Amino acid sequence: MGNGLSEQPKFSSMSFFQSSHITIFGLDSAGKTTVLCRLQFNDFVNMVRTNGFNFNSVSVN
């Protein structure tokens, strides 16, 4: 799931959104945190299992 983002997604078609909240649900080790870090840091980071939940803000151009 996380590695499926080979490049930064194009959000230009979403430019009418001032801000939006996105919730990612999935099975254990599905790659949810990997996707989140990919969007935030534009990099792949080796993750440990998440206890509870992550909450991140991501700015897009």
Ligand X SMILES: Nc1nc2c(ncn2[C@@H]2O[C@H](COP(=O)(O)OP(=O)(O)OP(=O)(O)O)[C@@H](O)[C@H]2O)c(=O)[nH]1
Dihedrals phi, psi of 42, to nearest 5 degrees: 55, 40
Nearest of 42, 5, 31 to residue 54 by alpha carbon: 31
- Whose Cβ is closer to Mg ion: residue 17's or residue 25's? 25
Q: Which of residues 8-47 bind Mg ion (CB under 5 A)?
A: 33
The answer to the question of residue 40 lying near ligand X (CB under 6 A) is no
Contact between 56 and ligand X by CB under 6 A: the answer reads no
Looking at 7-56, list the stretches that DSSP marks H as alpha helix, in order from N- to C-terminal side: 32-41
Residues in touch with Mg ion (CB under 5 A): 33, 50
Annotated binding residues for GTP: 26-33
